[in-house]
Amino acid sequence: MSALQVAKLWLIGATGLSKDALHVYVALILFFGSAVLFKWSLAGWRPWTVVLVAAVSGEAWDIRDRLAGRIAIDLPGDWHDIWNTMFWPSVILLVARTTSVFGRSGSDRLQQPLE
């Protein structure tokens, strides 16, 4: 079992959260955390891309671990994890780009290129 799998199992045990719930929490921490840390707009593509890269990398690592352990590949399950991880960051990105919930008017942002 890889270090990533051990860490995920520890996190599930320590928090009492399901694997799906952890995907959501990690996605939101990465999305908001990268925006705050790098002073990126929530309406820009950068925080969303950080989450996407993490989600795809995590699933690639899971696939590698399954291959190494001679466990069947579960592409529908991997897709479910990526979808679950990306849902709320995608909603927040769209809300930030089309409304004033997170600051400047959404219509102003639509006139500008995606950062």
What does the pLDDT read at residue 105?
Answer: 55
Q: What is the span of the domain harbouring residue 81?
A: 3-110
Q: Torsion over CA of 91, 30, 23 and 81, rounded to 10 degrees?
A: 70
Confidence grade of residue 113 (pLDDT, cut at 50, 70, 90): low
What does the pLDDT read at residue 109?
Answer: 54
Q: What is the DSSP letter of 51?
A: H
Within-domain flag for 115: no
Select the more confidently predicted residue: 114 or 20: 20
Within-domain flag for 34: yes
What mean pLDDT do residues 16-23 have? 95
Q: Determine contact, residues 54/4, Cβ cutoff 8 Å.
A: no
How far does Cα 47 stand from its chain's mean position? 9
What does the pLDDT read at residue 56?
Answer: 98
What does the pLDDT read at residue 81?
Answer: 97
Cα–Cα distance for residue pair 22/54, rounded to 1 Å: 13
Residue 67 corresponds to which tokens in the numbers above? 């291959």
Instruction: Give the count of domains, the chain.
Output: 1
Within-domain flag for 14: yes
Instruction: Tell me the per-residue pLDDT of 59-92, one tens digit each, with 9 for 90 and over.
Output: 999 999 999 999 999 999 999 999 999 999 999 9
What does the pLDDT read at residue 47?
Answer: 98
Cα–Cα distance for residue pair 95/45, rounded to 1 Å: 13
